[in-house]
Amino acid sequence: MSSAQITLATAKRILTQLRHDHRTVALMVLVPTLVMILLYYVIGDQGSFDAWTPVLLCVFPFLVMFLVTSIATLRERTTGTLERLMASPLGKLDLLLGYGLAFGLMAVVQVALVLSVSLTWLGFGLGAPLWPLVVVALCNALLGTALGLLCSAFARTEFQAVQFMPVVMIPQLLLGGILVPRDQMAPVLEWISNVLPMSYAIEAMKLAAAAGAEGDFWRDVAVVAGSAVLALVLGAATLRRRTP
Amino acid sequence: MMSCAVAVRDLRVERGRRQVLHGVSFEVPRGSVLGLIGPSGCGKTTLMRAVVGVQTVAGGTVTVLGEPAGGPGLRTKVGYSTQSPAVYDDLTVTENLAYFAAVLGAPKTDVARVVAEVGLEDAAGQTARTLSGGQKSRASLAVALLGAPELLVLDEPTVGLDPVLRNELWGLFHRLAAGRGVTLMVSSHVMDEASRCDRLLLMREGEILADDSPGTLRDRTGAADLEAAFLRLIADREAVSDR
Ligand SMILES: Nc1ncnc2c1ncn2[C@@H]1O[C@H](COP(=O)(O)OP(=O)(O)OP(=O)(O)O)[C@@H](O)[C@H]1O
Ligand SMILES: [Mg+2]
């Protein structure tokens, strides 16, 4: 069995697990769309809604993927299936890429639904091509998957895994230029903001919504994708064939 | 030594800053069934994990089928079934087995074979979450039987099973050893199972008290059955260490 076949078998297995768990699938796919609809009616003003939409398109795929992945991999550690896999020919990267692939596919469905609803029913005024938005949303979902994998290595219980979400999310949201523009922050905060991948994701999404793949767009996307790859590699390093 | 499936020398293991195996040495000949017996917490699982190559060790060597334990060449040759069942709760028995078969590169037909070997035909379409305790542990055992392992490391594979089923599984273990030359390491708490092993390793507090055939153990201690033989060996050792 080649590594690629094992990766595909792993992705298929994870999707089969999801198929048995309708509620999780519904939450993954519907929650971002429902929040978007809620936001539309709360804001009640098309201009502000158009400004918030790119931000939510960034935050939600990331958030959901982060949570689902960290809990799924933690379960794999605690139920002994990981120990079983570590004694098998499966490579560490096979497992991580399998998760990335399966949840990446879920992210496509999630983003497709939230974008269709926003663009039609909610009248999201997009003055640029659609694909750059999709690219950013997917890179960001993959980043969420990769960071979820990494963080699950530091959690012993599902309760702890859930606690990682605010630890990872809140600084990135506060410093990502959503509430206060990044160039108006104190220098230290701006510096920290510069090393948080979400800042680049949000910037890329705003660029994509305003003008498409222009300006710093590709640099920002590269930073987000690079961070996802880095997190995957670090995640692989935390998987040990031998444990104490 | 190719006649030897497992060779352990002076194995020391620390878990949670405490040494739990204090220099264990033994060998398992190919095609034999070794039973691992000893009080709860004596280090049976730890020893098996070291043989499979998933346990961090502090010293000593573990050689499996001529390679250092856990080596890349061994990962399709060693089947391991953990003490608590390790299967995906939200997959059916068949889906679980199909996935592990794909990872091991075992033929798809293996799934039906191992389901029959552990007698789970009627529950094959059930998700693992809905299985009874004994069914779930058999599903986990079935995973270890996939492919063509040369060494099977089975941690309490028959716990919670009725005598009929236990008898069938032991029949299977002996068929694997006699027919396919598979070597088995099986831990157990049940003495009538111990008597069905070719050799027994009696452990106590991270050390090996005895390494003999069941018959020799009974003769040596002059006890009527294995249970009495073990109690006597443990009592003798305690008398020595008290002195
Ligand atoms: N992860 C761990 N961290 C620290 N100590 C551990 C860990 N796992 C096991 N131990 C300790 O190591 C010792 C040996 O444990 P092991 O699981 O090998 O026992 P065992 O012989 O398999 O017992 P049982 O028959 O109850 O399964 C025990 O004292 C146990 O408390
Ligand atoms: Mg044990």
DSSP per position, chain A: --HHHHHHHHHHHHHHHHHT-HHHHHHHHHHHHHHHHHHHHHH--HHHHHHHHHHHHHHHHHHHHHHHHHHHHHHHHHTSHHHHHHTSS--HHHHHHHHHHHHHHHHHHHHHHHHHHHHTTT-----S-SHHHHHHHHHHHHHHHHHHHHHHTT-SSHHHHHHHHHHHHHHHHHHTTSSS-GGGS-HHHHHHHHH-HHHHHHHHHHHHHHHSS-TTHHHHHHHHHHHHHHHHHHHHHH--SSB-
Domain assignment present for residue A243? The answer is no
Query: Minimal Cα distance from B17: which residue of A?
Result: A244
The answer to whether B104 contacts A9, with C-beta atoms less than 8 Å apart, is no
Average pLDDT of span B37-60: 93
Task: Name which of A27, A244, A227 is nearest A147 in CA terms.
Answer: A227
Which of A13, A90, A242 shows the shortest C-beta gap to B56? A242
Domain range for A162 is 3-238
Domain assignment present for residue A57? The answer is yes
Domain assignment present for residue A111? The answer is yes
pLDDT band for position B243 (50/70/90)?
low
Given a cut of 90, whether residue B33 has pLDDT beyond it is: yes
State the sign of the Cα–Cα–Cα–Cα dihedral A223, A224, A227, A229: negative
In this prediction, residue B155 carries a pLDDT of 95
Cβ–ligand 1 contact at B45 (below 6 Å) = yes
The answer to whether B80 contacts A6, with C-beta atoms less than 8 Å apart, is no
Cβ–ligand 1 contact at B15 (below 6 Å) = yes
In this prediction, residue B125 carries a pLDDT of 95
Given a cut of 50, whether residue B55 has pLDDT beyond it is: yes
Q: Give first-to-last CA distance, chain A, whole Å.
A: 29
The alpha helices in chain B, defined as continuous H runs, are 44-52, 93-104, 110-117, 133-145, 163-180, 191-194, 214-221, 226-242
Average pLDDT of span B120-132: 95
Task: Name which of A107, A96, A198, A98 is nearest A153 in CA terms.
Answer: A96
Distance CA A89, CA B72 (A): 7
| DSSP, res B146 | S
Query: Minimal Cα distance from B75: which residue of A?
Result: A88
The answer to whether B70 contacts A79, with C-beta atoms less than 8 Å apart, is no
Domain assignment present for residue A31? The answer is yes
Domain assignment present for residue A190? The answer is yes
Distance CA A39, CA A49 (A): 7
Distance CA B136, CA A25 (A): 26
Domain assignment present for residue A204? The answer is yes
Q: Is pLDDT larger for residue A1 or for residue A9?
A: A9
In this prediction, residue A124 carries a pLDDT of 82
pLDDT tens for A69-84 read 888 888 898 899 999 9
Distance CA A98, CA A92 (A): 10
In this prediction, residue A169 carries a pLDDT of 82
Q: Are B68 and B8 in contact (CB under 8 A)?
A: no
pLDDT tens for A56-112 read 888 888 888 888 888 888 889 889 999 999 999 998 888 888 988 888 888 888 888
pLDDT tens for B162-189 read 889 899 999 999 999 999 999 999 999 8
Question: Edge-to-edge strand order for the sheet containing B18-29?
Answer: B18-29, B4-15, B59-64, B67-68
Query: CA-CA distances (angstroms) from residue A78 to A82, A152, A155, B215?
Result: 8, 11, 10, 40
3-state class of B51 per DSSP?
helix
Task: Name which of A144, A121, A143, A114 is nearest A54 in CA terms.
Answer: A114
Domain assignment present for residue A244? The answer is no
Task: Name which of B120, B97, B121 is nearest B109 in CA terms.
Answer: B97
Cβ–ligand 1 contact at B56 (below 6 Å) = no
Given a cut of 70, whether residue A1 has pLDDT beyond it is: no
How many domains does chain A contain in total?
1
The alpha helices in B75-211, defined as continuous H runs, are 93-104, 110-117, 133-145, 163-180, 191-194
The alpha helices in B38-162, defined as continuous H runs, are 44-52, 93-104, 110-117, 133-145
The answer to whether A87 contacts B53, with C-beta atoms less than 8 Å apart, is yes
Whole-number average pLDDT of chain B: 91
DSSP per position, A123-172: -----S-SHHHHHHHHHHHHHHHHHHHHHHTT-SSHHHHHHHHHHHHHHH
Considering only CA atoms, give the Rg of chain B.
Answer: 18
Hey, which of B37, B45, B186 would you mutate to test ligand 1's pocket, going by the most ligand atoms within 8 Å of its Cβ?
B45
Q: How large is the ipTM? A: 0.89
